[in-house]
Structure 1
Amino acid sequence: MIPIISTVPIQQLASGDCLSIQVYKFIGANPGKKTYLQANLHGAEIVGNAVIHQLIEFLISINDTQLNGEIWLVPVCNPISTNQRTHYFSTGRYNPSDGKDWNRIFWDYEKECEDLEDFAKSHINLEVDAIQNEYFKRIKTIFDKLLEKLNSPSGAPFNERYRYQLQSLCLDADYVIDIHSSSNQAIDYLYGFHRREESAKYFLLEHEILLNEYDGDAFDEAFLKPWLALENQLETLGKPIVFDKESWTLELGSGMQMNPESVEKGVQGIKNYLAQKDILSIPDFPLPQTASHKVTFVSKSTLKKYYAPRGGMIQSRVKLGASIEAGERLYQIISFNKEELPKLIDVCAENAGLVFDISTNHAVNEGEYVLSVM
């Protein structure tokens, strides 16, 4: 199966050069759902590009009759952040122009939908597909108006132009997968949403951070929050519905690294998910272990980040992926204070949990990030 390849320009530079992203569209012979995948929204988080490359090679190898619907893949979806460097180290988590996190800029229809209750009441007696179609029309109508501002004489900041390009690619999707990794070092896990817990096991990862609370306009949130809001409103009115809309962030391994194990997990999990959703009809998938696979769900609000109480050098830190008990030592800081002998400071766990993310740098200033426990 040969993809349709398109190039989307996103920014012309002062030099006259133009930055762009490539979209690989695989269209199946059979009608079905649309799946959108992207990678490398943050500069150091490159592993998703290897995942998408392997998925492209796989999709090229199958027949179009084995694909129901369509799959759009966008590697290196943020060339600005990908190319950002300090010495030899990738940074690229924040827009250098305004300091905003690249994954906290996206447009969220839920914040602008002031008449959600009226919409739910006036459409409550329709079939699910009809409600979904009418609601999407409202989302798209408001989204299309964003282009008027971009094309106005006063223009708009680049982050608004950039988000419009990315979101226009996935606005009509049914399933969205945003592939990240830690900017530091981390285990493989995923972020997911309420009422989608059953689908989480299709990715065959062991841990999911459940997003019951939202801390910003992240890409996965901006796509799914309007649908979650409508579900909640309909449930309040006595008509519980779960729309066939899902959004996921896969966190695969560590920043600036192409960990082969993380890539393999990502590729296998995504293929398994797409087969389970009847997007792919391929031999051996869904994998037989899917039904019995167990996922540990952790609420995002319960995550605990640890920051250095003093400046110094970290030693004796627990290993990534370690299970720890309350009161157990997490790490030591060798603190040099210029006035007396160096001190060793023990930092112990406030609660039991799993160490899922650790800093790359073992030298810390006071208040800098060291590790996270779920």
Structure 2
Amino acid sequence: MSYQLYSHTLPSATPGTQRILKAHHFGEAGARPKIYLQAGLHADEWPGFLVLNTLIKKLIKADEDGLIKGEIIIVPVSNPIGLGQNFHGYIPGRFAFSDGGGNFNRNWPQLGEKVERLVNQQITGDVETNVQLVRDAIREELIALPELTELQGMRKTLLALSMDADEVIDLHCSGEACMHAYVAQEFEEYFTPLLGLMGAKVALSELETGALSFDETNVSVWRHLKTHYAHLMPWGCRSLTLELRGENDISYELAEQDASALMKYLTYRKVVKGKAPKIDASQVTFFPLDAMDLVKAPIAGIACFHKDLGEAVEAGEVIGEIVDVMADDVTQSSYPLIARANGVFFARFQRRLVACGESIAKIAGREHLAFREIGHLFED
């Protein structure tokens, strides 16, 4: 058996407290391909917890049967800091309460320029040599990252586990949503089999969002180096963010379905021995992220949606309304939510009491929207 479970202790934030990250390792260290999966970086997004718990059980059985060929690392609970932010029974796990606050999945350390300085005199004509050279440099720069605070320690640990992987799969979810994903344009074809297996019909595609998110950070070094060395520098890592439907789409049945799909994908990538799965990716559609309409609440009130998730919509169509519960004239208290893109209504707020100006629904469109700014495509 190759299965190992490691606990990584984070710096203590306050006297008497300590948090840990648990990483499940399968296969021999350094074996290829290496795939890294994690869940719950936004600590209020929980479907991935149960999915990875189920996947780990399957991989333990595969390991006992001698079927692990590459290396797999799974961190099923990647943000114990956010999970500890329990406020009267509610876990606001998207933003950090300490360490300056901010979205847990934004502004991760960028190592591209530092790695380039280490390798720029050593790049060869052999791409495999270059990949190993860069991975060694990444490891060196990761060691130098600060870890004085709990958040710094968590980020450093997660990057150390993931940045030498061939693939990084970061599991998230939305408030209420269809299965969908955020994928770099360069990886559309590569990840189409995964999306087909997961049953995702919507994938948002972009070059760089400007968010410096976890999955983008894992490929940022390679993207930076490819602009300088072109064909001499292959993609040493590919990544995506997979959105497992909505916050409350949690059940043994869904976890089994998703974990089985991930297991088939690991077999497809030959990390696990087995018969190649049949993949139907005919329903997968990529939509430009700068064509995604963020439908905003025109007033504060109660949101009522008229369209179901997964339905096609047209620009100008009313997908719902906000009811102003403070209106003097209740007969004139509803304000329409109007789509600004032709596409698919794929995600919306779970909370129905909304504030004025909040983005409460998402429509995957097909044509660039003038009000969407490249490099600033995510709201916190």
Give the TM interval when normalised to the shorter protein.
Answer: 0.7 to 0.9
8 Å Cα contact 1:355-1:372 kept in structure 2: yes
1:84 corresponds in structure 2 to: 85
TM-score when scaled to structure 1? Answer: 0.87
1:188 corresponds in structure 2 to: 179
2:125 corresponds in structure 1 to: 126
Which segments of 5 or more consecutive residues in structure 2 lack a partner in the other structure?
Answer: 365-380
* Paired residues, number: 357
3-state secondary structure, aligned to 1:252: strand
In structure 1, distance between residues paired with 2:356 and 2:251: 31
Which segments of 5 or more consecutive residues in structure 1 lack a partner in the other structure?
Answer: 151-155
Could you tell me the percent identity over the aligned residues?
25
Q: Give the counterpart of 1:354 among 329, 336, 344.
A: 344
In structure 1, distance between residues paired with 2:88 and 2:49: 22
3-state secondary structure, aligned to 2:186: coil
* Residues 185-214 of structure 1, C-alpha deviations (whole Å, 9 max, x = no match): 111112222332222122123222113122
1:153 corresponds in structure 2 to: none
In structure 1, distance between residues paired with 2:30 and 2:13: 41
1:138 corresponds in structure 2 to: 137
Indicate how the Cα distance of structure 1 residues 300 and 67 shifts in structure 2: closer, same or farther if over 3 A, else same: same
Q: Give the counterpart of 1:217 among 195, 212, 235.
A: 212
In structure 2, distance between residues paired with 1:217 and 1:17: 29
TM-score when scaled to structure 2? Answer: 0.85
2:363 corresponds in structure 1 to: 373
> Within 5 A, what are the aligned runs for 1:152-167?
156-167=148-159
Aligned amino acid, residue 277 of structure 1:
R
Q: Deviation at 1:104?
A: 1.0
2:68 corresponds in structure 1 to: 67
3-state secondary structure, aligned to 2:209: coil
8 Å Cα contact 2:30-2:71 kept in structure 1: no
* Residues 45-95 of structure 1, C-alpha deviations (whole Å, 9 max, x = no match): 111111111111111212463111211111111112123334333321000
3-state secondary structure, aligned to 1:133: helix
Aligned amino acid, residue 91 of structure 2:
S
> Within 5 A, what are the aligned runs for 1:105-124?
105-112=107-114, 115=117, 119=120, 123=123
Q: Give the counterpart of 1:282 among 274, 279, 299.
A: 274
Indicate how the Cα distance of structure 1 residues 190 and 254 shifts in structure 2: closer, same or farther if over 3 A, else same: same
2:308 corresponds in structure 1 to: 319
Indicate how the Cα distance of structure 1 residues 159 and 114 shifts in structure 2: closer, same or farther if over 3 A, else same: same
8 Å Cα contact 1:179-1:249 kept in structure 2: yes
Q: Is the deviation greater in 258-267 or in 9-18?
A: 258-267
8 Å Cα contact 1:3-1:25 kept in structure 2: yes
Q: Deviation at 1:227?
A: 0.8
Q: Deviation at 1:300?
A: 1.6
Indicate how the Cα distance of structure 1 residues 137 and 172 shifts in structure 2: closer, same or farther if over 3 A, else same: same
* Residues 99-150 of structure 1, C-alpha deviations (whole Å, 9 max, x = no match): 210111421212545659x92x862x5211011112222222222222xx44
Q: Deviation at 1:330?
A: 1.1
* Residues 211-236 of structure 1, C-alpha deviations (whole Å, 9 max, x = no match): 3122222110111011122223333x
1:363 corresponds in structure 2 to: 353
Q: Deviation at 1:242?
A: 3.5
Indicate how the Cα distance of structure 1 residues 264 and 302 shifts in structure 2: closer, same or farther if over 3 A, else same: farther
